[in-house]
A = this chain, B = another copy of it.
Amino acid sequence: MTIKDIARRASVSVSTVSRVLNNHPDVSEDVRAKVLAVVQEAHYVPNSSARDLVRPQSDAIGLVVRGVGNPFFTGVIHAIEDAIGQAGYTMVLHQISSREDEIRAGAELARSKRLRGLILLGGCFDYTQEQVAILNVPFVCCTYTNSFGNLQSGDYSSVTIDDQHEAFQAVQMLIERGHRKIAILLDSTADRSISQLRYVGYCKALESAGLTLDPELVAETGTFDMAASYIGTRKLMERRQDFTAVFAIADAMAVAAIRALHDGGRRVPEDCSVIAIDGIELSAYTIPALTTLVQPQEKLGERSVSILVDMIEGRAGNRHLQVDTSPRNGDSVRPIA
């Protein structure tokens, strides 16, 4: 079934069918209805490669998601999809693994789909200006910034929590509840990414309370894996018995840590408190429920879209927005004397 067959069946010209499929206004409602009826009846799917070539500009916004299966991204993706639709655009989703290069993937998508703009959900914190030069459309980094790269503020947009500050807040919640020996469970202290930013927040919170940083209480796992987090916590317990609280930089890591503490004979929160940042659904149902700082998934998605659409429609240039977390009080933190 080709566009010619559709034209023949509907008794109109090929260019009329093309105008209907591309939503041109210069077609009468009668003709439009007739063509669409034939299209529907024939289960005709337009070849969008061909269509994209003749169409001067698409209405597509690309979403490149880096890291398959990050449970935290689910709500963000839904919010982005809804907001793009409400703004009158179409979302093209492309998911890549965390081994792949989101800038390259975004550049290819932008050209092949003639995108108007791009949202990158998850990515590296250390882009160079040379790297992003291949992007020929405005883009928004959603959930991360260029803290370790050389982009200027006007080179890109971002919507994110303030990782350093939120880590500071989480550790301060523990300090306010009497904790002094606070361990941290993280990927790496120097990953030029999220772990490093949250580690700096941890250090600053200790410092502002006059507490000394104790390197033995820093448990580096090398990944965000639950298995590695479990082992990292067990090793921490072999090294030290005197900590009364753990700050895990992600919910899934905290769930594995609670289990490791439990298996090592320390109950949470009676013998050790645990706090995290993220707010995934599942950690609200564990026993104990995890106390965590919830990232506003909907807001992260919505605001990324509105900043991008403002740029596409010429209302504003690159902008950077920081959103706040909100504490979700579970049962994993208790005050101590």
Q: Digitize A243-262: 1 where CB-to-B-CB distance is under 8 Å, 0 elsewhere.
A: 00000000010011011001
Chain A stretch 180-215: residues in CB contact (< 8 A) with chain B: none
**Which residues from B are CB-within-8-Å of A281?**
226
CA distance A284 to B287 in the complex (A): 13
**Which residues from B are CB-within-8-Å of A285?**
226, 230, 255-256, 258-259
Q: Would A47 and B111 count as touching, CB distance under 8 A?
A: yes
Q: Would A49 and B114 count as touching, CB distance under 8 A?
A: yes
Q: Which residue of B lies closest to A108 (CB)?
A: B45
Q: Which residue of B lies closest to A93 (CB)?
A: B95
Judged by a CB distance under 8 angstroms, whether A310 is at the interface is: no
Q: Would B78 and A226 count as touching, CB distance under 8 A?
A: no
**Which residues from B are CB-within-8-Å of A289?**
259
Judged by a CB distance under 8 angstroms, whether A302 is at the interface is: no
Q: Which residue of B lies closest to A48 (CB)?
A: B112
* Chain A residues packing against B (C-beta within 8 Å): 43, 45-50, 52-53, 65, 68-69, 71, 73-75, 77-78, 81, 93-95, 97, 104, 107-108, 111-114, 133-134, 226, 230, 252, 255-256, 258-259, 262, 281-282, 284-287, 289
